[in-house]
Amino acid sequence: MTELYIGVDGGGTHTSAVSVRPDGRILARAAGSGLNFCNDGLDTCVSRFGEILARLLPAGPAGRIVVCAGLAALDGPAPPDILSAFQAALPPGCRLILESDLTVALAGLTLGRPGLMTVCGTGSMVMVRNAAGQEQAAGGWGWKIGDPGSGYMLAREGLFRALWRLETEKRETPLLAAAFSSCSVPDSRSLLTALYPPGSGVDTLAAFGAEVVRLAEEGDPDALDILTRQMQEISALAASLLKSVPEAKDRVGLYGGVFQHSALARSLFSEALSARVPEVRPCLPEYPPVLGAVILAMLREGLSSESLPAFTDEP
């Protein structure tokens, strides 16, 4: 029998992990840097994975351990070479389930039932699960193509709008001032040096997305227009999946930094989705993705949705 479950939510920027007994008691938590090996390299992410797991694995002999990780770099089950690379970071005898971070987020919402999850963090993606347990994804194309609603796209559109206003209208806007402040630069041409240093990743730019959301919440018309358009685009992806899987309409979840930190983003998304698919009521999931990973592991081990335990912190 399985004696310990370890769930991992490996996002593009941050990773959270948790160890849980089969009865649902949470033993420990750990955190670390992101596990998106497409951006940071496979060796780096495997090393990070091993360091995080080392804080949760028992020090002495243990029974069967199942580790389930959702990674931002995946949009489905990991291919054999990736699975093997991450498996090498674990002690012998551990079973490893390696899936998309959206798959584990969906499990935290649906507990194995039909439903749809939209995630807007550094990147964005939508996934639906039907009554037969089949999953289908949309979006998740990454920063080179574009992820609507993501922190990266909000930042990119915000910077472009600010510079466009400056160069075509000779007007300095709140978005431009926020860009100067965030990048610690005195003028527009200095943004090039700040945003394109060697080794600079997508995360550096995506962080400015939070400033775009903040200004939208304060009523800045440019920022509000950008956030509204991005929420409309990501809602169109969600609507297309819901129309093909109507039984998922009862469980529609939102996750990721953009949604978690902004009631306005959630409201704009919900309004745009309801206009396309009436009577849908998006909400934050019952369990975060890190526990969704544990739930997914338990389901893969043969537990039914009805037999899943209640999760509680150990006294």
DSSP conformation letters of 190-219: HHHHHH--TT--HHHHHTTHHHHHHHHHTT
Helix (H, G, I), strand (E, B) or coil at 20: strand
Nearest-angstrom CA–CA distance, 259 and 129: 21
Tokens of 172: 């300095």
- Domain borders along the chain are 2-111+286-313, 151-276
Q: Which residues of 158-187 are buried (b: 16+ CB within 10 A; e: fewer)?
A: bbebbbebbeeeeeebbbbebbbebbebee
Model pLDDT, residue 200: 65
Model pLDDT, residue 61: 61
Does the domain at 151-276 match CATH 3.30.70.890? Answer given as no
Model pLDDT, residue 1: 64
Model pLDDT, residue 60: 67
Cα-atom radius of gyration of the chain, to the nearest Å?
20
Burial of 221 (0-12, 13-18, 19+ CB in 10 A): exposed
Nearest-angstrom CA–CA distance, 59 and 57: 6
Burial of 28 (0-12, 13-18, 19+ CB in 10 A): middle
Of 224, 247, 41, the residue nearest 129 (C-alpha): 247
Same CATH fold, 151-276 and 2-111+286-313? Answer: yes
Model pLDDT, residue 198: 74
Burial of 251 (0-12, 13-18, 19+ CB in 10 A): buried
For the domain made up of 2-111+286-313, the CATH class stated in words is alpha beta
Tokens of 200: 């600079």
Block means of pLDDT (10 residues each) for the chain, 315 residues, are 90 90 95 90 96 89 87 90 96 93 93 94 92 91 90 96 97 96 93 81 81 98 98 98 96 93 97 94 91 96 92 75
